[in-house]
Structure 1
Amino acid sequence: MSRLELSEEQRSELEACFRTTEERRLRDRCQAVLMAARGRPQQQIAEDLGTTTRNIQRFLARYRTGGLQGLKIQWAPGKTPLIPEELAPTILDWIRQGPGACGLKRANWTHLTLADFLHRQTGIRVRETAMRDFCRRHDVRLYRPTYRFLRADPVRQQQALLALSEKLQAAAGDIALLSQDEARFPMVPTLTATLGLKGERPVIGTRDCKDVVHTFASANVTAGEVTSRLYGSRTRTRRKDGLSKTKRMQVAFAHHLLDVARAYPAAQHREVVLVIDNAPWHRGLPVDWALRRYPHLTLYRLPPYSPQLQPIERLWRPLRQRATHNTLFDEMAELQHAPRSGLGYYRARPQAVLSLLGSAWNPTQSAEA
Structure 2
Amino acid sequence: MFFDESGVSLLPQVRRTYAPRGRTPTLRHRLNWKRASTAAALGDHAADTGRGARLCFHLRPGSYDTEALIDVLTQVKTFYQGERVVLVRDGLSAHRSRAMRAWAAGQDWLTLERLPAYAPELNPVEMLWSSIKTRELANLAGDHLADVGDAAEGGINRIFQDERLAWSFLAHTGLKIPPTPHN
Cα distance, 1:312 vs structure 2: 2.1
SS of alignment partner, residue 353 of structure 1: helix
Shift of 1:353: 0.8
Partner of 1:256: 72
Higher relative contact order (CA 8 A, sep 6+): 2
Cα distance in 2 for partners of 1:341, 1:196 equals: 27
The residue aligned with 2:87 is 274
Gaps of 5+ in 2: 178-183
- The AA in structure 1 aligned to 2:134 is Q
2:180 match: none
Taking only the aligned residue pairs, the percentage that are identical comes to: 25
Answer yes or no: is the 8 Å Cα contact 1:188–1:209 preserved in 2: yes
Distance (Å, rounded) in 2 between the aligned partners of 1:362 and 1:297: 20
CA shift, 1:282, in A, is 1.0
Q: Which runs of 5+ in 1 are unaligned?
A: 1-177, 234-244, 364-369
User: Alpha carbons of 1:180 and 1:206: their partners in 2 closer, same or farther (altered >3 Å)?
Assistant: same
Paired residues in the alignment total 169
Q: Which has the higher helix share?
A: 1
| Partner Cα separation in structure 1 for residue 112 and residue 142 of structure 2 | 35
8 A Cα contact 1:189 1:326, kept in partner: yes
Q: Take 1:290 and 1:344, find their aligned partners in 2: how far apart are those partners?
A: 31
Query: Alpha-carbon deviation of 1:326?
Result: 2.4
Rounded Cα–Cα distance in structure 2 between residues aligned with 1:288 and 1:320:
31
1:181 aligns with: 4
- Aligned match of 2:181: none
Amino acid at match of 2:126: E
2:56 to 220, 227, 246: 227
Other structure's SS at 2:142 match: coil
| DSSP 3-state at the match of 1:184 | strand
| Compared CA separation, residues 209 and 289, structure 1 to 2 (3 A) | farther
Q: Deviations over 1:317-359 (max 9, x none)?
A: 2222342122221111111111122213333443331123216
Structure-1-length-normalised TM-score? 0.41
Q: Which has the larger radius of gyration?
A: 1
Aligned residue type for 1:298: T
Deviation at 1:202, TM superposition (A): 5.5
Q: Secondary structure at the match of 2:100?
A: helix
